[in-house]
């Protein structure tokens, strides 16, 4: 029985191996994350013989090439949450933090928990790409909010309230009318210095060029709204540069987000459970893709409680002797991206109040009991995940049985 511990870092990893009774099978040695380095690591592990398992921590993107490469060589790899290794203590009260010590500590954990180790399996290519797209989507959403707030702040100095002049929804290509408008009419004096008829004609040409519907009534309303403002930035080249650059950055981010959203939906629709997930109440196209991206294949969760724990929406337990706390916060040990998506879905239940839906019934029950807001919202997320697990498992099981019959 050989337990190989790998302490992964950026660009290289430290590897050590232990046998029962503390026998050192491999002294700590560093390997580069190159084709040659990973090949040398794999051959060193294979030389230990059968009944060998590799244990490493999940360290962002750094562990993925190591785990994937070793898996291709047929080596048993187990990727663990770093919290497991940290809480194990390593059998010493001394605080030692080196790559060599960490590799031995990870190997020792493997020996102590040999029967509980679960084998690493690389995610399907589609699921992995979907997860990356989902993370990029969330990143661009945050960026767009920041860029939009920045543009509104700047236009408040040159054309207060311009972002509220148009109620047109965002177009499919990501363009928004008020953003396109300020790229041309970036200061209220760009309108005030024109006659009403001249602005109407120019606005009509602008609408035709940008692909927006023209309304003479709207043109007159915009012209009237441009007057009477006290601006703090003058109409000069510097102000124009600031406004148009901010608007261009926002528009670029929006069009990029549209491209990522389109790719997310294309990937999500290739997965067998997409229609089942999308059919669940409160789940739209984007949230369905995000759920599947963050949860992955439900077969990797042996029980529905495992999925709930992965999301971190399970209640913590605090009991010692006669002391037992009845109300505990959620563990929040899992994926924050998944919790964010679940919160958005449960907010839909809260707004729409579908009386026939089990999730809302459970939410309303907890709310009627006087539970605080975050308590019944977290409880509803827990309930939703259990329903998700049951329906997706049922869908995949039905698909597998039909495949066998064919």
CA 346-348-349 angle, to 5 degrees, is 65
What is the crossing angle of helices 285-295 and 237-268, to 10°?
Answer: 70
Same structural domain, 194 and 307: no
Paired with 244 in beta bridges are: none
pLDDT higher than threshold 80 for residue 89: no
pLDDT higher than threshold 80 for residue 322: no
Same structural domain, 196 and 221: yes
| Chosen domain end from 61, 86, 116 | 116
Q: Which long-range contacts (CB under 8 A, 24 or more apart) does 174-180 make?
A: 174/251, 174/254, 174/255, 174/256, 174/257, 174/258, 175/210, 175/251, 175/254, 175/255, 176/251, 176/254, 177/212, 179/151, 179/247, 179/250, 179/251, 179/254, 180/210, 180/212, 180/247, 180/251
Same structural domain, 92 and 148: no
Q: How confident is the model at residue 83 (pLDDT cuts 50, 70, 90)?
A: confident
What's the confidence (pLDDT) of residue 220? Answer: 93
Cα 133 to chain centroid, rounded: 9
Averaged pLDDT for residues 105-114: 89
Same structural domain, 216 and 314: no
Same structural domain, 34 and 152: no
- Please report whether residue 8 resides in a domain: yes
CA distance 124 to 64: 13
Averaged pLDDT for residues 90-113: 82
Burial 47-81 (b: 16+ CB within 10 A, else e): ebeeebbbbbbbbeebbbebbebbbeeebbbbbbe
Cα 291 to chain centroid, rounded: 9
Residues 131, 123 contacting (CB under 8 angstroms): yes
Same structural domain, 134 and 253: yes
What's the confidence (pLDDT) of residue 260? Answer: 95
Distances (CA, A) of 27 to 5, 6, 10, 107: 11, 12, 21, 11
Q: What is the CATH number of the domain that holds 21?
A: 3.30.420.40
What are the tens digits of pLDDT across the range 129-174?
999 999 999 999 999 999 999 999 999 999 999 999 998 889 999 9
DSSP 137-188: HHHHHHHHHHHHHHHHHHHTTTSTTGGGS--PPPPTTS--HHHHHHHHS-ST
- Please report whether residue 66 resides in a domain: yes
CA distance 385 to 375: 16
- Please report whether residue 328 resides in a domain: yes
Residues 295, 377 contacting (CB under 8 angstroms): no
What's the confidence (pLDDT) of residue 403? Answer: 62
What is the crossing angle of helices 125-155 and 285-295, to 10°?
Answer: 130
- Please report whether residue 159 resides in a domain: yes
Beta strands in 204-337 (DSSP E): 319-320, 323-324
CA distance 139 to 168: 25
What's the confidence (pLDDT) of residue 8? Answer: 92
CA distance 124 to 153: 44
Residues 111, 53 contacting (CB under 8 angstroms): no
What are the tens digits of pLDDT across the range 21-74?
888 888 999 999 999 999 999 999 999 988 899 999 988 788 889 999 999 998
Same structural domain, 100 and 180: no
Averaged pLDDT for residues 354-372: 92
Residues 274, 292 contacting (CB under 8 angstroms): yes
Averaged pLDDT for residues 324-343: 79
Residues 128, 296 contacting (CB under 8 angstroms): no
CA distance 33 to 56: 14
pLDDT higher than threshold 90 for residue 185: yes
Q: Which of 129, 134, 79 is nearest to 261 (CA)?
A: 134
CA 34-37-43 angle, to 5 degrees, is 135
| Chosen domain end from 219, 235, 267 | 267
Predicted TM-score (pTM) of this structure: 0.81
- Please report whether residue 123 resides in a domain: no
Same structural domain, 170 and 220: yes
Q: Which pair of tokens denotes residue 379? A: 């409880």
The CA R_g of the chain, rounded to the nearest whole Å, is 28
- Domain span holding position 47: 2-116
- Please report whether residue 122 resides in a domain: no
Same structural domain, 107 and 163: no
pLDDT higher than threshold 90 for residue 115: no
What's the confidence (pLDDT) of residue 383? Answer: 93
Q: How confident is the model at residue 381 (pLDDT cuts 50, 70, 90)?
A: very high
Q: Which pair of tokens denotes residue 128? A: 């992995």
- Please report whether residue 124 resides in a domain: no
pLDDT higher than threshold 70 for residue 298: yes
Same structural domain, 281 and 237: no
CA distance 306 to 354: 28
Same structural domain, 168 and 236: yes
Lowest mean pLDDT among 84-88, 222-226, 313-317: 313-317
Residues making up the chain, counted from first to last: 406
Q: Please, what sign has the CA dihedral across residues 302, 307, 309, 314?
A: negative
Query: How many domains would you assign to the chain?
Result: 3
- Please report whether residue 365 resides in a domain: yes
What's the confidence (pLDDT) of residue 325? Answer: 65
| Chosen domain end from 246, 267, 288 | 267
pLDDT higher than threshold 80 for residue 387: yes
Q: What is the CATH number of the domain that holds 148?
A: 1.10.287
Averaged pLDDT for residues 378-395: 92
CA distance 92 to 174: 57
Percent residues over pLDDT 70 in the chain: 95
Lowest mean pLDDT among 90-104, 208-222, 333-347, 379-393: 90-104
pLDDT higher than threshold 80 for residue 88: no
Percent residues over pLDDT 90 in the chain: 61
Same structural domain, 284 and 257: no
* Three-class secondary structure of residue 192 per DSSP: helix
pLDDT higher than threshold 80 for residue 91: no
Residues 90, 82 contacting (CB under 8 angstroms): no
């Amino acid at each position: 029985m050989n337990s190989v511990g790998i302490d992964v870092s950026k660009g290289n990893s430290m590897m050590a191996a232990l046998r029962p009774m503390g026998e050192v099978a491999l002294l700590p040695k560093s390997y580069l994350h190159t084709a040659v380095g990973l090949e040398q690591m794999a051959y060193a592990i294979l030389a230990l013989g059968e009944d060998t398992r590799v244990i490493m921590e999940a360290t962002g993107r750094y562990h993925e090439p190591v785990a994937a490469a070793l898996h291709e060589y047929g080596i048993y790899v187990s990727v663990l949450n770093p919290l497991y290794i940290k809480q194990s203590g390593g059998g010493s009260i001394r605080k030692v933090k080196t790559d060599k010590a960490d590799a031995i500590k990870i190997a020792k954990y493997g020996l102590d928990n040999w029967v509980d180790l679960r084998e690493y399996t690389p995610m399907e290519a589609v699921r992995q790409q979907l997860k990356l797209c989902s993370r990029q989507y969330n990143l661009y959403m945050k960026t767009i909010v920041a860029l939009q707030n920045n543009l509104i702040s700047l236009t408040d100095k040159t054309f207060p309230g311009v972002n509220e002049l148009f109620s047109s929804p965002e177009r499919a290509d990501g363009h928004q009318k008020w953003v396109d408008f300020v790229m041309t009419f970036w200061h209220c004096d760009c309108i005030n210095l024109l006659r009403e008829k001249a602005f109407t004609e120019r606005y009509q040409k602008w609408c035709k060029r940008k692909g927006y519907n023209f309304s003479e009534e709207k043109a007159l309303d915009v012209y009237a709204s441009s007057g009477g403002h006290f601006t703090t930035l003058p109409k000069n080249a510097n102000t124009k540069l600031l406004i148009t650059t901010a608007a261009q950055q926002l528009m670029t981010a929006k069009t990029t987000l549209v491209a990522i959203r389109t790719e997310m939906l294309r990937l999500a629709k290739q997965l067998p459970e997409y229609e089942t997930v999308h059919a669940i109440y409160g789940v739209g196209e984007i949230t369905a893709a995000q759920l599947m991206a963050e949860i992955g294949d439900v077969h990797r969760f042996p029980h529905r409680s495992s999925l709930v724990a992965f999301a971190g929406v399970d209640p913590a337990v605090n009991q010692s002797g006669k002391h037992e706390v009845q109300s505990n916060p959620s563990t929040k040990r899992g994926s924050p991206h998944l919790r964010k998506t679940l919160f958005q879905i449960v907010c839909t239940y809260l707004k729409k109040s579908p009386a026939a839906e089990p999730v809302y019934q459970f939410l309303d029950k907890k709310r009627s009991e006087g539970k605080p807001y975050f308590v019944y919202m977290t409880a509803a997320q827990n309930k939703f995940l259990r329903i998700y697990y049951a329906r997706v498992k049922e869908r995949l099981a039905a698909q597998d049985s039909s495949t066998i019959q064919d």
